[in-house]
C-alpha cells in the first residue's frame, strides 16, 4: 500500500536518500537544497529541517557522502559545477549547512560524481562533459575541503586511442559496494556521448603496484560497443562467485556477470546474463537493493518506478521448500526479495507452535535445515510455560516430522557454541579447551548474565540434546547433525546491522542494547569469543548436507580471541574509531581454545579468519551507520 512520507517543494528536480534512509535531500530548479528529517525515528513521516539556496541555477543531482565522514552532500548544478556541503556546528551555534569545496573544470561540465570508501580512505570519481574522468582522494577524513587529484583518465580500453573533441550529454558511475582489504578499489563507468569509444561501460580497477587506474573489463558485445549508456549499477555481492552489474542503453537493461579473478593479462571475463527489455526511453537511474537481488529503475518510459526481481540469479539443480512464519503477505514479500514463483523454491507457511503445519513442507525432502528458534514467548500462552519448553518442543516436532515423512535422510540443526561451555562442573575454572564433549550446565551464575541470555542458552542447550537423541532411535533412518556456530560476523543483506555483528563491534559502539555485555557474557561462558564468518556458516550447512554420511555434534568456529584481543586488533587496525573509555580497564582472561578440528577433519575449510570477520563486520556497521568517526563521537559528547 502506497503512503506519502514527505511533501516536496514545488520545482523539485532531484532527490537523494542518505545511506541509512533516515534523511532525504532535495534540489530545486532555482538552486535550493532542502533536507528532510523524521522527528520520530519510529515514524515514516519527514519534514524539511533545512532549506538553503546554494546556486542561482538549478540543482540536477545530489549525492550523499558515506556516513562515516559526516552529514554531507555533493551537489551538481545545471551549469556543470560541483560543490560539497556539510552540516556542522560552529562556536556553539545550531547545526547548519556550510560550503566545503567547489570543483571546477574550465570549459567542461560535471555530469556525475560518486564516492567510494577504500581502506579508510574516501575517493570521489567525477565524470565531465568532455569525456575526461578525474579521481580525487580526501587527504584528511576530518576536513572535507582537503581533496587531492589522484588520477585523470578517459573511458577507453586502449590508451593509444585517438579521437576528436568529445561532447558528452550524460555519464553514470557506480563503485563496487563490497570493498575490503583483499580487493583493489574498482568502479564501472559509462557515457552517453557522440564518441563511440567512450560510451561502452568499462570496469576500472586501481593498480596498487603502479599507482594507476586500469580498465579491466568492457561490458558490451562487439556490435554494441558504440551504444550510448544511460545508467550503470553495481550490485552488492553477498556470497556470489561473480560480480553483477546492470547497464542501461536504448536496447534495454543488460545484466552482466563479471568474474572475481583476473586472467594472466589482468582482465576480468564477462558474460551477458540477461536483457531486461520493454523500455521505451532513457533510463535515468538504477539502484540495487542490499541483497543484490532486486533492481529498481526510473526513466522516460512513462513508469514512475520499475522493480525487477532477478530470477536469472537462481542457478541450482535443487528443488527446495521453505517454511515461513505466518504473517500477512509473507510469501509475496519473500518472493519479491528472493525470486519468482516459477523457480524451484516452494514456500509454505507454518507455525512452530503447530507442528502438523510442517508436514507438507517436509514431505518429500531429503534434507531439513532447522535454523530458527523462538526468541520471544507470549506470556499469555498456555501451551508452553516458558521459552525453554517452547524451544525444546519446537525442535522435537521438526524431528518427528522428518521421521514421519520417511523421505528425510538428515536433519541439520543450527546450534550455538554457548551450549558447549568448558567450565568445570564445580565452577572453579575452565577445562583446557572447548570441544564437542563440553555441555553448558543449566545453573550458571555469572557476572555478565541476564535472565534473557541465560534462558536462551539453556533453551538451545536442551533443544540440542533433544534432537541429538534421535540418533539413538533404532530403525529411524534419520541422521541428525548439530552445527554449533560461533558468534557470526561479516556482511548482511538486511537493512539493519544484525545483533551478532553489533556484539562484535560493540567495543566501538558501546553497550547499546546490552551488546558489549553480550560480548563479555560469551567470553565468561566459553573462556574466549569463538568467531565465524557468515559465508562460512552457510557453506558449513551445505557441507553437512552434501557429505555422504554424517551425524553428531560439530563446532563451527574459525577463531577464538578474547575480548582484550578483539579490542587490541580494533585499536591497532582501525584508529579512525575509538574504544569506549569505560571498556578499557578490565581484568585479563586466559583464552580457551575452541577446537573445531572435528568438522575440518571431515573436509571442511574456513575462508574467513579473525581479521576478515572483524573487518567485514566493521564495514557492515559503517555502511549501515552504526559507527561514527572519532571527531563525530567527540562532538556528540562535548
Q: What is the pLDDT of residues 495-532, one digit of tens each?
A: 778 889 999 999 888 766 678 899 999 999 999 999 99
Task: Give 294's pLDDT tier (boundaries 50, 70, 90).
Answer: confident
* pLDDT at site 483: 98
* pLDDT at site 191: 96
Q: Is the pLDDT of residue 16 over 80?
A: yes
Euclidean distance between CA atoms 64 and 124, whole angstroms: 12
Euclidean distance between CA atoms 346 and 322, whole angstroms: 6
* pLDDT at site 637: 42
DSSP summary character for residue 2: -
* pLDDT at site 530: 97
513 vs 189: which has the higher pLDDT: 189
Exposed, middle or buried, 546 (CB in 10 Å: 0-12/13-18/19+)?
Answer: exposed
> For the ranges 156-165, 170-179, 418-427, 590-599, which has the lowest average pLDDT?
156-165
Exposed, middle or buried, 443 (CB in 10 Å: 0-12/13-18/19+)?
Answer: exposed
* Alpha helix segments (H runs only) across 146-268: 196-199
Q: What is the CA radius of gyration of the chain?
A: 27
Cell of 424: 568445570
Least Cα distance to 84 among 55, 50, 56, 108 occurs for: 55
Per the CB < 8 A criterion, the answer to whether 470 and 542 are in contact is no
Per the CB < 8 A criterion, the answer to whether 81 and 110 are in contact is yes
What is the mean pLDDT of the segment spanning 391-409?
A: 92
Q: What percent of the chain has pLDDT over 70?
A: 83
- Axis crossing angle, helix 563-573 with helix 515-526, rounded to the nearest 10: 130
453-471 as b/e: b if 16+ CB within 10 A:
bbebbbbbbbbbbbbbebb
What is the mean pLDDT of the segment spanning 145-150?
A: 92
Dihedral of CA 362/365/368/372: which sign?
negative
Euclidean distance between CA atoms 509 and 564, whole angstroms: 16
pLDDT for 321-345, tens place per residue?
A: 565 554 444 444 344 444 444 455 6
Q: What percent of the chain has pLDDT over 90?
A: 51
The residues facing 245 across adjacent strands are: 234, 256
319-346 as b/e: b if 16+ CB within 10 A:
eebebeeeeeeeeeeebeebbeeeeebe
Q: Please work out, in degrees rounded to the nearest 5, the angle formed at the alpha carbon of residue 496 by the alpha carbons of 492 and 500.
A: 65
Euclidean distance between CA atoms 75 and 343, whole angstroms: 42
* Alpha helix segments (H runs only) across 202-308: none
Q: What is the DSSP string of 106-151?
A: TT--EEEEEEEEETTEEEEEEEETTSEEEEEEES-TT-TT-EEEEE
CA atoms within 13 A on the CB side of 146: 8
Task: Give 289's pLDDT tier (boundaries 50, 70, 90).
Answer: confident
Q: Is the pLDDT of residue 470 over 90?
A: yes
Return the SS3 of 523.
helix
> For the ranges 173-187, 307-321, 435-449, which has the lowest average pLDDT?
307-321
pLDDT for 340-377, tens place per residue?
A: 444 556 777 777 767 778 888 888 889 999 988 876 65
* pLDDT at site 562: 94
* pLDDT at site 125: 97
Q: Is the pLDDT of residue 182 over 70?
A: no
Edge-to-edge order in the sheet of strand 47-53: 12-17, 23-28, 32-37, 47-53
Residues tagged active-site: 460
pLDDT for 535-565, tens place per residue?
A: 999 999 999 999 999 999 999 999 999 999 9
Pairing verdict, β 433-434 and 593-594: parallel
pLDDT for 48-81, tens place per residue?
A: 999 999 999 999 999 999 988 889 999 999 999 9
* pLDDT at site 323: 58
Task: Give 599's pLDDT tier (boundaries 50, 70, 90).
Answer: very high
Task: Give 632's pLDDT tier (boundaries 50, 70, 90).
Answer: very low
Average pLDDT in the chain: 84
Cell of 53: 539556496
What is the widest separation between alpha-carbon atoms in the chain? 83
20 vs 224: which has the higher pLDDT: 224
Q: Is the pLDDT of residue 609 over 80?
A: yes
Amino acid at each position: 500500500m502506497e503512503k506519502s512520507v514527505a511533501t516536496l517543494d514545488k520545482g523539485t528536480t532531484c532527490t537523494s536518500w542518505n545511506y541509512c534512509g533516515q534523511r532525504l535531500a532535495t534540489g530545486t530548479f532555482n538552486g535550493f537544497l532542502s533536507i528532510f528529517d523524521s522527528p520520530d525515528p519510529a515514524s515514516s513521516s519527514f519534514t524539511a529541517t533545512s532549506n538553503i539556496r546554494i546556486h542561482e541555477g538549478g540543482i540536477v543531482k545530489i549525492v550523499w557522502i558515506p556516513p562515516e565522514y559526516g552529514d554531507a552532500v555533493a551537489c551538481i548544478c545545471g551549469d556543470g559545477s560541483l560543490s560539497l556541503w556539510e552540516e556542522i556546528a560552529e562556536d556553539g551555534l545550531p547545526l547548519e549547512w556550510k560550503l566545503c569545496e567547489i570543483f571546477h573544470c574550465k570549459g567542461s561540465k560535471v555530469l556525475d560524481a560518486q564516492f567510494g570508501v577504500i581502506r579508510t580512505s574516501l575517493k570521489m570519481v567525477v565524470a565531465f562533459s568532455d569525456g575526461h574522468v578525474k579521481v580525487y582522494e580526501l587527504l584528511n577524513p576530518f576536513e572535507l575541503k582537503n581533496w587531492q587529484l589522484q588520477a585523470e583518465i578517459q573511458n577507453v580500453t586502449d590508451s593509444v586511442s585517438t579521437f576528436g573533441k568529445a561532447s558528452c550529454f550524460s555519464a553514470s558511475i557506480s563503485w563496487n559496494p563490497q570493498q575490503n582489504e583483499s580487493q583493489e578499489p574498482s568502479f564501472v563507468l559509462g557515457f552517453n556521448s557522440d564518441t563511440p569509444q567512450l560510451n561502452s561501460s568499462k570496469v576500472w580497477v586501481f593498480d596498487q603496484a603502479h599507482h594507476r587506474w586500469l580498465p579491466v573489463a568492457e561490458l558490451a558485445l562487439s556490435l554494441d560497443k558504440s551504444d550510448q549508456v544511460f545508467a550503470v549499477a553495481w550490485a552488492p555481492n553477498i556470497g556470489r562467485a561473480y560480480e553483477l552489474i546492470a547497464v542501461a542503453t536504448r536496447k534495454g537493461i543488460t545484466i552482466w556477470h563479471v568474474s572475481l579473478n583476473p586472467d594472466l593479462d589482468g582482465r576480468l571475463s564477462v558474460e551477458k546474463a540477461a536483457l531486461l527489455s520493454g523500455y521505451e526511453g532513457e533510463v535515468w537511474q538504477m539502484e540495487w537493493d542490499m541483497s543484490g537481488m532486486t533492481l529498481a529503475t526510473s526513466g522516460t518510459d512513462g513508469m514512475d518506478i520499475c522493480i525487477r526481481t532477478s530470477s536469472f540469479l537462481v542457478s541450482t539443480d535443487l528443488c527446495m521448500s521453505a517454511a515461513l512464519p505466518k504473517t500477512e503477505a509473507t510469501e509475496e514479500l519473500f518472493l519479491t526479495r528472493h525470486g519468482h514463483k516459477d523457480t524451484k523454491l516452494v514456500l509454505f507457511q507454518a507455525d512452530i507452535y503447530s507442528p502438523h503445519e510442517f508436514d507438507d513442507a517436509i514431505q518429500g525432502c531429503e534434507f531439513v535445515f532447522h535454523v530458527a528458534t523462538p526468541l520471544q514467548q507470549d506470556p499469555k500462552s498456555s501451551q508452553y510455560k516458558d521459552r525453554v519448553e517452547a524451544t525444546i518442543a519446537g525442535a522435537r516436532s521438526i524431528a518427528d516430522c522428518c521421521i514421519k515423512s520417511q523421505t528425510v535422510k538428515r536433519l541439520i540443526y543450527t546450534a550455538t557454541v554457548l551450549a558447549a561451555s568448558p567450565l568445570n562442573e564445580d565452577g572453579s575454572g575452565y577445562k583446557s579447551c572447548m570441544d564437542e564433549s563440553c555441555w553448558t550446565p543449566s545453573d550458571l551464575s555469572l557476572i555478565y548474565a541476564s535472565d534473557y541470555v541465560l534462558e536462551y542458552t539453556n533453551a538451545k542447550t536442551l533443544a540440542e540434546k533433544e534432537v541429538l537423541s534421535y540418533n539413538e532411535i533404532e530403525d529411524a533412518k534419520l541422521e541428525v547433525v548439530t552445527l554449533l556456530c560461533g558468534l557470526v560476523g561479516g556482511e548482511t543483506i538486511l537493512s539493519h546491522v544484525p545483533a551478532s555483528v553489533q556484539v562484535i563491534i560493540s567495543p566501538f559502539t558501546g553497550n547499546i542494547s546490552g551488546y558489549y555485555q553480550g560480548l563479555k557474557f560469551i567470553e565468561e561462558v566459553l573462556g574466549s569469543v569463538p568467531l565465524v564468518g557468515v559465508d562460512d556458516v552457510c557453506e558449513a550447512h551445505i557441507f553437512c548436507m552434501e557429505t555422504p554420511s554424517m551425524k553428531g555434534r560439530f563446532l563451527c568456529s574459525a577463531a577464538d580471541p578474547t575480548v582484550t584481543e578483539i579490542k587490541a586488533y580494533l585499536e591497532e587496525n582501525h584508529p579512525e574509531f575509538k574504544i569506549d573509555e569505560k571498556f578499557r580497564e578490565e581484568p585479563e582472561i586466559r583464552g580457551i581454545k575452541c577446537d573445531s578440528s572435528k568438522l575440518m577433519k571431515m573436509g571442511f575449510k574456513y575462508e574467513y579468519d579473525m581479521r576478515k570477520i572483524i573487518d567485514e563486520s566493521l564495514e557492515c556497521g559503517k555502511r549501515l551507520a552504526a559507527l561514527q568517526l572519532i571527531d563525530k563521537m567527540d562532538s556528540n559528547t562535548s
